[in-house]
Structure 1
Amino acid sequence: MKVETNGVNPVTDNERYGTPAGLFPIWFSWNVSILGITYGIYVYSLGLSLWQAIFAGVLGYFLSSTLVGVLAVGGPRTGLPTLTQTRFAFGYHGNKIPTLFAYISNMGWKVTIITLSSTTGASLFATLWPAVFAAEGGHPTLTCLLGWFVVTLALTMSVAIYGHQLIMKVEKYIAWLTGGMSIIFIILIMPHIHWSQSGTTPDAGLLTFIGGMVMAMTMVGLGFLNYGGDFARYLPRSTPARKVVFWTSMGISLPVSILLILGALLADSNPALSNAAASEPIAALTSFLPFWFYVPFSIVIIISLLAAAITGVYSSGLALLAMGVPASRSTTTALNAVIIAFGAFYLLFISDSFLATFQSFLATVSVVLGSMGAIQLVDFARQKRLNWNTAMAQPSGAGGRNGRWTALLSLFIASVVGMGTITSGDPWIAHLVGFLLTEETKTSVFATANIGVVVAMLVGATLYAILTYLCHFDVLPSTIDVKDNNHE
């Protein structure tokens, strides 16, 4: 156990360790969250029947998490983080464009998670010791909230800065803890499902079903496309691809699928509870728990949110390095913790309307991230043909390209198409998106479920495949020995 010194350099063969099964707990631990229940409520709220919501959600989860698993295969093959390996497709400097969007998205969600973890801890203390930690109306005092904010940030920073080895160990124990507690939670919530009232909603049309599937993809899997290789890159180079894909996709999709089914059942049979959970998920879904379980389960909720924050802060540090920031991995991770601290502090203590706007902005950013992931997936065939040569992550003259116009043009066109075919609930962002939709289609399921994200991915992947494999533009990097597969 030591502080990780590797940044965006290839991990050497003598530093590789672990098995692909070790990827399961790291993804499971921060996807087995109570928020997964609200995802089922969101999918159901599109107008789907109970069974449609379940099938659409589970199918969307497995499709999108499989994409994450496929991208994660590049980790053991190259020893590089995902946002460094994307230099193969976009070029050394061209890669900074999609990486910047990935960095913003990553940091935004971590601000939200740190905030949610802090408020959950403060609410727990306000419930246990109201005379000390509760203000008027039962809400946590400012001191209590600030104290939990500091504790949450300190725990996140300490593990993330330490690096890969500690993260893999910590997340394994968190996975066992959160998984076991979630089983008890499911048992306790089952009586609140009104089974006699479930299954009465009529089936919706095919487009609505597809909309539910796409909504599930954007809520979970597509947001992880730029993470996979960060945790798989220490695996031995010869690790079978199918095992990397299987354990990664199962770690993501299994817990959220179970929780989505639970959320859909609640939404279908208990509208009052599901409506409350849609706006304040943690408060609504823990309000009916017996006190003996409420306290430990609240702590587990905090731990699961910390698990997500730790991995996100770690990956955002690698993202800064991929953009060319001249610092060590631990330094960029600490820098990100400071930025997240300012964002979460603003969200907790200053703004009362920032969260909705920022979440709308992050949904818009997912158009670029999804398109980037689709192009990278298509480029895997070229990377494999070139023996996963890590010299392709270098600038022009050192084995790579400064920019590859085929990928960048495909990303630009796909992003324009995606932005033009999605909508936003925020009035300011709404002016920047949906420009390819008619007034009538802006209120359709196609627009409100953001199916345009998947359309953008298909456009980007198809255009890049045509330019690269059919037109044979810009296939080979400059001055690279194709036979060199970086085994030295």
Structure 2
Amino acid sequence: MKQDQKPAAAAVERNGVNPVPDGERHGTPRGLFAVWFSWNISILGVSYGVYVYGVGLSAWQAVAAGLLGYVLSAVLVGILAVGGPRTGLPTLTQTRLAFGFHGNKFPTFFAYLSNVGWKVTIITLASTTGARLFARLWPGAFADGRGHESVPAVMMWFVIVLVLTVTVAVFGHRLILRVEKWVAWLTAVMTVVFIGMIVPHIHWSRIGHTPNGSFGEFVGGAVLAMTLVGLGFLNYGGDFARYLPRRTGARGVVGWTAGGITLPVAVLLVLGILLAAGNPELGSAAADDPVGALTDLLPFWFFVPFSIVVVISLIAAAITGLYSSGLALLALGVPVSRAGTTVVNMVVISAGAFYLLFVSDSFLATFQAFLALIAVVMGTMGGIQLLDFVRQRRLGWPTELAMPAGQGGSAGRWTALVSLVAATVIGLGLVTSSDPNIAKVVGFLLTEDQKKGVIGTTNVGVLVAMAVGAALYALLTFVLGIDPKGPARSTEPGRDLEGVPS
């Protein structure tokens, strides 16, 4: 394929975790903005503002801490995204260069669990939002005796959301870019109108009454913001940048990626903080159920189209996540095509969402607590990969290192794996969980007072684990010079990146 030829949006993407050939590279970093913008412009961002404010900060401190955390973590995602055009690999395949072919499966498995878990939550929220809309429009057909959305309405919307998500994800990268571009414009316009209608419900005279928090609480608020948004994307930065030409400027990749992540959540962060500070009752309700609490304030003429846009934005987030989770399965070595992994994920995610919607009343809280612990592994893996970029760049970004042992790569690089395990243990000792069962195995490095304080309530342990993992890896690799080697020549039959003989 010639450099100026672009695959049709209607064609199913054929690339999996292989390096994207230079002849198929196209686009500019500007195209990354819409992908990340539509992924993050969710009404859930209002809840994040409430959470940051709840650390114990004043309104202005919460805004500053939240913005600082968002920018720092989004820039880290952008830096990792640079590996996409340099190698043509998805992020969770490029991490093989740091962890080895089989060693990479450990952190990739946890990254996959996290991605699928959040997709379960998002698809569930989209389904209930659509069903709630229909219950308001046609209560006779879609509402139960209490006026709430009926089970058949939720089931119908569950099927609609799942079909739309899977369809776009199967076609892959090019169709996703086109769809996300339109979703970004639509959701941006509707969100501006939505904010204008919510602002009158803020009690401005009460905002300045909260005293300033301590420096430790400010740091805790910034760390909490990082864990809420950017750190969760560290493992997927390169998935949408790998089709860019190899020599695409790093500054553009970082800037457009970080901007697309930060802009929508920053605006919603400020709204959430102002609601929590000026109208504590509404802020508390928005933290628990942002869609229900905030859409109830809207006039009916706007409630209908805005609810539709909320569903669309959630589907947009589910599409990109489902696409990346498929690439994660390939990185784990599942012997199917990229389109095939989408079907596998459809089964897994639909089962989880069905259980959450129709079986369990307490599953969500426990599962979200579990996902918070996974963030310790993911953050540590991201920190090691960021540091290993120095080595990968010096070696000329060799994709051979993503191959199995004897084919240019290695089965596992113990320097990275030891750093990951050691830092993860430390991180788990510094985090807490609201789930009583999970709480028994975490927080073992904290006193009871610390568990209830800033350290225990803001996920600081995630950032500590990330820093410790990177520092230990730097010591072993760059200071002691252990295993910094490049690709080795193969003397065995060729294999592809899944390890299957070719």
Aligned to 2:80: 71
1:323 aligns with 2:329: no
For 2:355, which of 346, 354, 359 is the aligned residue?
A: 346
For 1:201, which of 204, 207, 210 is the aligned residue?
A: 210
What does residue range 418-433 of structure 1 map to in structure 2 within 5 Å? 418-433=427-442
Aligned to 1:98: 107
Separation in 1, partners of 2:204, 2:446 = 40
* Secondary structure of 1:440's aligned partner: helix
Count of residue correspondences? 481
1:185 aligns with 2:198: no
* Secondary structure of 1:229's aligned partner: coil
The answer (yes or no) to whether the contact 2:286–2:294 under 8 Å persists in 1 is yes
1:57 alignment partner AA: G
Kindly state the Cα deviation for residue 275 of structure 1 after the two structures are TM-superposed.
Answer: 1.1
Aligned to 1:449: 458
1:143 aligns with 2:152: yes
* Secondary structure of 1:352's aligned partner: coil
* Secondary structure of 2:238's aligned partner: helix
Kindly state the Cα deviation for residue 150 of structure 1 after the two structures are TM-superposed.
Answer: 0.5
1:283 aligns with 2:292: yes
Aligned to 1:249: 258
Separation in 2, partners of 1:305, 1:37 = 14
Kindly state the Cα deviation for residue 367 of structure 1 after the two structures are TM-superposed.
Answer: 0.1
Aligned to 1:366: 375
Separation in 2, partners of 1:68, 1:437 = 29
1:307 aligns with 2:316: yes
What does residue range 465-484 of structure 1 map to in structure 2 within 5 Å? 465-477=474-486, 479-480=488-489
For 1:130, which of 130, 135, 139 is the aligned residue?
A: 139
Separation in 2, partners of 1:373, 1:440 = 30
The answer (yes or no) to whether the contact 1:401–1:477 under 8 Å persists in 2 is no
Kindly state the Cα deviation for residue 195 of structure 1 after the two structures are TM-superposed.
Answer: 1.3
The answer (yes or no) to whether the contact 1:78–1:388 under 8 Å persists in 2 is yes
Aligned to 2:391: 382
The answer (yes or no) to whether the contact 2:400–2:487 under 8 Å persists in 1 is no
2:386 alignment partner AA: L
1:35 alignment partner AA: L
1:443 alignment partner AA: K
For 2:71, which of 62, 67, 76 is the aligned residue?
A: 62
Kindly state the Cα deviation for residue 444 of structure 1 after the two structures are TM-superposed.
Answer: 1.1
The answer (yes or no) to whether the contact 1:71–1:225 under 8 Å persists in 2 is yes
1:114 aligns with 2:123: yes
1:162 aligns with 2:203: no
Cα offsets for 1:352-371 (capped at 9, x unmatched):
10000000000000000000
* Root mean square deviation, CA, Å: 0.8
* Secondary structure of 1:30's aligned partner: helix
1:36 aligns with 2:45: yes
For 1:9, which of 11, 14, 18 is the aligned residue?
A: 18
Cα offsets for 1:256-285 (capped at 9, x unmatched):
011101110111101111111111110001
Cα offsets for 1:122-152 (capped at 9, x unmatched):
0000011001100011111111110000010
Kindly state the Cα deviation for residue 480 of structure 1 after the two structures are TM-superposed.
Answer: 4.9
For 1:407, which of 416, 438, 444 is the aligned residue?
A: 416
**Length-normalised TM-score, structure 2:** 0.95
* Secondary structure of 2:18's aligned partner: coil
Aligned to 2:231: 222
1:80 aligns with 2:75: no
Separation in 2, partners of 1:238, 1:256 = 30
The answer (yes or no) to whether the contact 1:88–1:393 under 8 Å persists in 2 is yes
* Secondary structure of 2:240's aligned partner: helix
The answer (yes or no) to whether the contact 2:398–2:486 under 8 Å persists in 1 is no
2:420 alignment partner AA: L
The answer (yes or no) to whether the contact 1:397–1:478 under 8 Å persists in 2 is no
Aligned to 2:27: 18
Q: 1:435 to 1:333 in 2, by over 3 A?
A: same
The answer (yes or no) to whether the contact 1:8–1:318 under 8 Å persists in 2 is yes
For 1:393, which of 387, 399, 402 is the aligned residue?
A: 402
Aligned to 1:486: none
Kindly state the Cα deviation for residue 477 of structure 1 after the two structures are TM-superposed.
Answer: 3.9
**Length-normalised TM-score, structure 1:** 0.98
* Unpaired runs of at least 5, structure 1: 482-488
* Secondary structure of 1:11's aligned partner: coil
1:153 aligns with 2:153: no
Kindly state the Cα deviation for residue 312 of structure 1 after the two structures are TM-superposed.
Answer: 0.6
Kindly state the Cα deviation for residue 226 of structure 1 after the two structures are TM-superposed.
Answer: 0.7
The answer (yes or no) to whether the contact 1:391–1:480 under 8 Å persists in 2 is no
* Secondary structure of 1:136's aligned partner: coil
1:399 alignment partner AA: G
Separation in 1, partners of 2:407, 2:284 = 57
Aligned to 2:274: 265
The answer (yes or no) to whether the contact 2:46–2:287 under 8 Å persists in 1 is no
Kindly state the Cα deviation for residue 478 of structure 1 after the two structures are TM-superposed.
Answer: 5.1
Aligned to 2:426: 417
* Unpaired runs of at least 5, structure 2: 1-7, 491-502
My pick for the range that moved more, 470-479 or 346-355, is 470-479
1:364 alignment partner AA: L
Cα offsets for 1:21-68 (capped at 9, x unmatched):
000000001211111111101100111000100000000000000000
2:294 alignment partner AA: L
